[in-house]
C-alpha cells in the first residue's frame, strides 16, 4: 500500500469522524435544546462541549470548532452556563469563551454588561473583551461608564472594546483615553480612534505622534491614516512645526497611508532629507502613490542613494509600484 494511498484514506476517515461528530451533536443535542431551553441539562451539555471547544490537545483539534459552533447554536440557552466560565484564568479557555459569545452575539450583551462591574478582574476584563467582539452599540454607554476604572488593564480593555464596536458614541471616551497616563491604555485608545473615525479630531492623534511609547506613536500614525483626508492638513501643519526626527518619521508613515495626493510633494521633498531615516520612511511611503512621476522620483533617488536601508526601501517601493 503506497504512502499517498494510506494518507488519502486516513484523511477520508478523519473527515468521516469529523462529520459524524458534528452530525451527532445536531441530531442528539439540538432537538432537546429546542424543546426545553431552560432544562438544567443545558449546563451539562455546555460543560461537556466546552471541554472540547477549549481543548488545546493535538488529538482534539478537529472537534474544537464544531463544539464551539454547537454552543453558539444553543444561543440564549447557553448564556447562563457560559457566564460562569468568565472566571477562568486559562488563556485557551478565554479564547474559546470570546469566540462563543461573539457567535451568540447581541443576545448576550445584557448579561455580559452586568459582569463588567465584577470585583473579579478576570471576569470583568473578559466580559469587556466579549462585548467588544460582539460589536453591539448597546454596550457603549456601560463601557464608557467605567473608562476611569482604577485598574489600567480594565481601562485598556474598555478602549479596545469601544474601538471594536466602532460607534461614534465612543469617540469622546477614546480621545480622552489618549491622555491616559498609562502607555497601554493610550495605545489602545490610539488604535480605537482609527477604528471609530467618526467624531475623532486629528489633532489629538497628531499630538500623540511624539508620545514616549512606540505603541502609541505607531497606533496614532495608523489611525491618522484611517481618518483619511481630514488628517492631511493637520499632518502638513505638524511638518511645519519642526518636530523631532522621530515624530517626523511617524508623520511620514501616516502620510504614506492617508491616500491623498496632497502629501506627495512633501514626501518627495523628504526623500532628499539629510537624515537617512526620513529618506527611508519617505521612500516607503511613496510606494503607496502609484504614478509614473513617483516611479521616476524613486529611480532618481536610487541613483544617488548610499544608505543600505534607504536603498532597500526604494527598491521595495519600486517593486510595489511596478507590480501593482
Partner 1 sequence: MIRIISIFLTFCLAGSLSAQETAPAGFDVFNDKLDDALIGLKMVRSDLSLRDDYIEKDTYRLKLIDSLMNAPLEMINLSQNLLDGDVPGYADHLGVNFEQLAFPDRNPEPHVKKYFKPKKVDKLTLHRIDFFLSRIEQITELEIFDEQNAGLLDSLAYGFMLMFEEDVEDEFRTAEQRDSIQQYEEEWADVLKDIAGSVNLESIGLAGQAFLDVFSDFIINDEFDIQLKSDYVEFKTAFGKVCVGDTSAQHYSGDLFIVIDYGGDDIYDIHKAVTGNFTFILDYGGNDTYNLPKARINPYSFGANVLVDFNGDDLYNASSWGLGAGLLGTGILWDKKGNDKYFGDTFTMGAGCFGYGLLRDDGGDDFYNAALRSQGFGSVKGVGVLIDSLGNDHYFAGGKYRDIFHFKGHNMSLSQGFATGIRPYMSGGAGYLIDKSGNDTYESDVFGQGCSYWWSLGVLADGGGNDKYLSYLYAQGSATHMSLGCLYDRSGDDFYLAHGVSQGCGHDYAAGILYNASGNDDYVGYDLSQGAGSANGIGIIADLEGIDSYLVKKADNTQGYGNPRRDYGSIGIFLDIGGAKDSYAGGPGTDSTWWSGSKWGIGIDE
Chain residues that interact with partner 1, rule: CB under 8 A: 48, 51-52, 55-60, 63, 89-91, 121, 153, 160, 163, 184, 187-188, 191, 212-215, 217-219, 246, 249-250, 253, 277, 280-281, 307-309, 311-313, 316
Longest Cα separation, the chain: 76
- Smallest separation (angstroms) from partner 1 to the CB of 280: 7
The C-alpha cell 462591574 sits at 117
- Smallest separation (angstroms) from partner 1 to the CB of 308: 4
Q: How many CB atoms lie within 10 A of CB 241?
A: 9
Burial (CB count <10 Å: 0-12, 13-18, 19+), residue 316:
middle
Q: How many CB atoms lie within 10 A of CB 304?
A: 7
- Smallest separation (angstroms) from partner 1 to the CB of 195: 8
Nearest to 253 by CA among 226, 218, 228: 218
* Of residues 190 and 232, the one with the C-beta less far from partner 1: 190
Distances from the Cα of 8 to the Cαs of 3, 14, 16, 95, 187, in angstroms?
9, 10, 12, 32, 48
- Helical packing angle, 61-74 and 91-104, nearest 10°: 40
Separation of alpha carbons 44 and 14, rounded Å: 27
* Of residues 108 and 163, the one with the C-beta less far from partner 1: 163
* Of residues 108 and 173, the one with the C-beta less far from partner 1: 173
- Smallest separation (angstroms) from partner 1 to the CB of 219: 5
* Of residues 46 and 108, the one with the C-beta less far from partner 1: 46
The C-alpha cell 489611525 sits at 223
- Smallest separation (angstroms) from partner 1 to the CB of 60: 5
- Smallest separation (angstroms) from partner 1 to the CB of 201: 20
Q: For 28, which DSSP code?
A: I
- Smallest separation (angstroms) from partner 1 to the CB of 56: 5
* Of residues 22 and 75, the one with the C-beta less far from partner 1: 22
* Of residues 42 and 219, the one with the C-beta less far from partner 1: 219
- Helical packing angle, 61-74 and 41-53, nearest 10°: 150
| Cβ 96 vs Cβ 48: under 8 Å | no
* Of residues 138 and 315, the one with the C-beta less far from partner 1: 315
Amino acid at each position: 500500500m503506497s504512502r499517498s494511498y494510506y494518507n488519502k484514506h486516513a484523511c477520508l476517515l478523519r473527515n468521516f469522524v469529523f462529520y459524524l461528530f458534528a452530525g451527532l451533536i445536531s441530531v442528539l443535542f439540538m432537538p432537546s435544546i429546542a424543546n426545553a431551553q431552560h432544562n438544567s441539562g443545558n449546563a451539562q451539555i455546555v460543560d461537556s462541549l466546552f471541554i472540547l471547544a477549549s481543548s488545546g490537545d493535538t488529538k482534539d483539534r478537529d472537534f474544537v470548532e464544531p463544539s464551539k459552533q454547537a454552543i453558539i447554536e444553543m444561543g440564549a440557552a447557553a448564556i447562563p452556563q457560559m457566564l460562569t466560565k468568565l472566571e477562568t484564568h486559562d488563556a485557551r479557555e478565554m479564547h474559546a469563551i470570546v469566540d462563543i459569545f461573539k457567535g451568540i452575539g447581541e443576545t448576550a450583551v445584557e448579561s455580559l454588561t452586568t459582569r463588567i462591574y465584577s470585583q473579579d478582574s478576570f471576569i470583568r476584563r473578559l466580559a469587556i473583551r466579549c462585548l467588544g467582539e460582539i460589536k453591539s452599540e448597546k454596550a457603549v454607554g456601560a463601557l464608557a461608564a467605567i473608562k476611569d476604572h482604577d485598574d489600567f488593564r480594565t481601562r485598556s480593555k474598555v478602549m479596545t472594546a469601544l474601538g471594536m464596536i466602532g460607534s461614534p458614541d465612543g469617540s469622546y471616551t477614546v480621545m480622552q483615553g489618549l491622555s491616559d497616563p498609562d502607555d497601554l491604555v493610550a495605545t489602545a485608545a490610539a488604535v480605537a480612534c482609527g477604528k471609530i473615525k467618526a467624531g475623532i479630531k486629528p489633532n489629538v492623534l497628531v499630538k500623540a505622534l511624539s508620545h514616549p511609547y512606540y505603541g502609541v506613536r505607531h497606533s496614532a500614525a495608523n489611525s491618522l491614516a484611517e481618518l483619511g483626508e481630514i488628517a492631511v492638513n493637520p499632518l502638513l501643519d505638524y511638518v511645519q512645526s519642526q518636530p523631532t526626527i522621530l515624530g517626523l518619521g511617524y508623520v511620514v508613515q501616516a502620510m504614506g497611508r492617508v491616500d491623498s495626493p496632497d502629501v506627495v510633494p512633501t514626501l518627495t521633498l523628504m526623500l532628499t532629507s539629510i537624515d537617512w531615516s526620513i529618506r527611508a520612511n519617505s521612500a516607503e511611503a511613496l510606494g503607496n502613490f502609484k504614478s509614473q512621476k513617483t516611479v521616476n522620483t524613486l529611480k532618481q533617488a536610487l541613483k544617488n542613494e548610499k544608505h543600505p536601508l534607504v536603498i532597500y526601501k526604494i527598491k521595495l517601493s519600486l517593486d510595489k509600484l511596478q507590480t501593482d
